[in-house]
C-alpha cells in the first residue's frame, strides 16, 4: 500500500499539515522539522496522491495537446515532431503531464469537448486547427485556458496564439528564387482552409510583386501538404506551364513529391524550395524555409502556463520569425 501523508507525518513525528507544507515547498517550516519530514518521505517512498490533491486544489497538473489530424498525418509530418519536442521539454520542466489527443473522427469530437471542458486538464494546446473549428471558442466560453499554435482562419476564434510568420517565410523563399535568376516561379499551396496556406500563398505573391513579376493562376496548384499531393500538383503544373523554372512548395513533403516528379520528368533545371526545414529537407538537400517549431512549442507552453497561473491579458499573439536554409535544390 502506498503511504499517505498521515503516515509520513506519524513517521516524522509531526502533523499532517507540516508534511504538506514541506511537500509543497512552503517556507514556513523550521529547518530541522523540514529535514525530519524529508527523511520520512524518503524512507517511506512517499508520493502525494494526485487525485486527492487535485480534488481540493482544483488543478490537475495535466495539459492536453490536441492535434487536429489523423495519426497518419501527425506521424509523417516532421513539423509535429519538433513542436511536440518543444512542448514536452518545456512542460516536463514545470512538472506537468502531457496528454496527447489526435483529432479523431468527427464523431468523437463531442466526447473530446466534454473531456477538455470537464475540468480534467488545466489547459489545452491546439495544433493544426482546421477550418472554423469551434473548439478554441468553446474552451474560451468554458474558461479553460487554451493556446493555439498557428493562427486559425478567423482571428476571433482564438485569443491566445503562437505562430510563425508564414507570409514572411514564403516571401523569403520567393525572393531567394528571384535572386537566383528564376522568373517563372510556380507554387504548390496547402489546403486553403488553413491560414498557414493562405499566408504562404500571400508571401509568394508579395515576393513576386516586390520584384515586379506578375502572378499567374497557371502557376498556382493546390495540395494538402502530403508528398503525394505535391507530386500530383507538380505534374499538373508541368502540364500547364512547361516553361516554369522554379517551384515553391508550402511544405517539405510536397516539395519532395515535386522533386520526385521533376526528376522523373528529367527537369533537374527546375529549382525547388520547401517549407518547414524538416530533417527530410536536410537529407534531400532541399532548400527550405526554416520554422522554429521547437521554439513555437516552447512558447505555447510558456504562454499557457501564464494563463493557468491567472495572469495575462485577454488576447495575445506571438509571431516567430522564420529564416531560409539554402541547399542544393535552388
Q: Give the residues lining the site for a copy of itself (CB under 8 A).
A: 2, 47, 49-52, 54-55, 60, 70-72, 74-78, 80-82, 84-85, 88, 92, 97-102, 104, 108, 111, 114-115, 117-120, 227-228, 279, 283
For β-strands 323-325 and 220-222, DSSP reports them as unpaired
Q: How far is the CB of 30 from DNA (least distance, A)?
A: 3
Sign of CA dihedral 213, 215, 220, 224: positive
Q: Which is nearer to a copy of itself, 11 or 96 (CB)?
A: 96
Coil/strand/helix, residue 249:
strand
Residue 18 near DNA by CB under 7 A: yes
User: Among 39, 57, 216, 326, which residue interacts with DNA (rule: CB under 7 A)?
Assistant: 57
Which of DNA, a copy of itself, none has residue 98 at its interface (CB below 5 to 8 Å by kind)? a copy of itself
Residue 29 near DNA by CB under 7 A: yes
Coil/strand/helix, residue 99:
strand
Task: Count the neighbouring beta carbons within 10 Å of the beta carbon of residue 3.
Answer: 17
Residue 62 near DNA by CB under 7 A: no
Distance (Å, rounded) from C-alpha 260 to C-alpha 146? 40
Residue 97 near DNA by CB under 7 A: no
Q: How far is the CB of 280 from a copy of itself (least distance, A)?
A: 8
Residue 30 near DNA by CB under 7 A: yes
Which of a copy of itself, DNA, none has residue 30 at its interface (CB below 5 to 8 Å by kind)? DNA
Window 270-299: residues binding DNA (CB under 7 A): none
Q: Are 149 and 296 in contact (CB under 8 A)?
A: yes
DSSP 279: H
Q: How many helices (H) and strands (E) does the chain have?
A: 14, 12
Which of DNA, a copy of itself, none has residue 28 at its interface (CB below 5 to 8 Å by kind)? DNA
Q: 519532395: which residue's cell?
A: 256
Residue 6 near DNA by CB under 7 A: yes
Angle at 223 between CA 222 and CA 229, to 5 degrees: 130
Task: Give the three cell numbers for residue 125.
Answer: 494546446
Question: How many residues are recorded in the chain?
Answer: 330
Residue 24 near DNA by CB under 7 A: yes
Task: Give the three cell numbers for residue 196.
Answer: 498557414
Q: What residues line the site for DNA (CB under 7 A)?
A: 2, 4-6, 13-18, 20-21, 23-24, 27-30, 33-34, 46, 48-49, 52-53, 55-57
Amino acid at each position: 500500500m502506498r503511504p499517505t501523508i498521515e503516515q509520513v507525518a506519524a513517521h516524522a513525528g509531526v502533523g499532517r499539515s507540516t508534511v504538506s507544507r514541506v511537500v509543497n515547498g512552503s517556507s514556513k517550516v523550521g529547518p530541522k522539522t523540514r529535514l525530519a519530514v524529508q527523511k520520512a518521505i524518503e524512507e517511506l517512498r512517499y508520493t502525494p496522491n494526485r487525485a486527492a490533491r487535485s480534488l481540493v486544489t482544483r488543478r490537475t497538473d495535466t495539459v492536453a495537446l490536441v492535434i487536429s489530424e489523423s495519426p497518419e498525418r501527425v506521424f509523417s509530418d516532421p513539423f509535429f515532431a519538433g513542436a511536440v519536442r518543444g512542448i514536452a521539454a518545456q512542460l516536463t520542466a514545470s512538472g506537468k503531464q502531457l496528454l496527447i489527443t489526435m483529432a479523431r473522427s468527427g464523431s468523437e469530437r463531442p466526447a473530446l469537448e466534454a473531456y477538455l471542458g470537464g475540468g480534467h486538464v488545466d489547459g489545452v494546446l491546439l495544433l493544426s486547427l482546421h477550418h472554423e473549428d469551434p473548439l478554441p471558442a468553446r474552451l474560451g466560453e468554458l474558461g479553460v485556458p487554451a493556446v493555439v499554435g498557428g493562427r486559425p482562419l478567423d482571428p476571433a476564434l482564438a485569443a491566445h496564439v503562437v505562430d510563425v510568420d508564414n507570409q514572411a517565410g514564403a516571401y523569403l523563399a520567393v525572393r531567394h528564387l528571384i535572386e537566383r535568376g528564376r522568373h517563372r516561379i510556380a507554387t504548390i499551396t496547402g489546403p486553403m482552409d488553413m491560414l498557414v496556406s493562405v499566408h504562404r500563398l500571400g508571401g509568394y505573391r508579395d515576393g513576386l510583386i516586390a520584384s515586379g513579376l506578375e502572378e499567374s493562376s497557371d502557376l498556382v496548384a493546390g495540395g494538402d501538404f502530403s508528398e503525394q499531393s505535391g507530386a500530383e500538383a507538380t505534374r499538373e503544373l508541368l502540364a500547364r506551364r512547361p516553361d516554369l523554372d522554379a517551384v515553391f512548395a508550402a511544405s517539405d513533403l510536397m516539395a519532395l513529391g515535386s522533386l520526385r516528379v521533376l526528376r522523373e520528368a528529367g527537369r533537374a533545371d527546375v529549382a525547388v524550395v520547401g517549407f518547414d526545414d524538416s530533417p527530410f529537407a536536410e537529407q534531400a538537400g532541399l532548400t527550405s524555409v526554416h520554422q522554429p517549431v521547437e521554439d513555437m512549442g516552447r512558447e505555447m507552453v510558456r504562454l499557457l502556463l501564464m494563463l493557468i497561473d491567472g495572469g495575462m491579458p485577454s488576447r495575445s499573439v506571438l509571431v516567430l520569425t522564420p529564416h531560409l536554409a539554402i541547399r542544393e535544390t535552388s
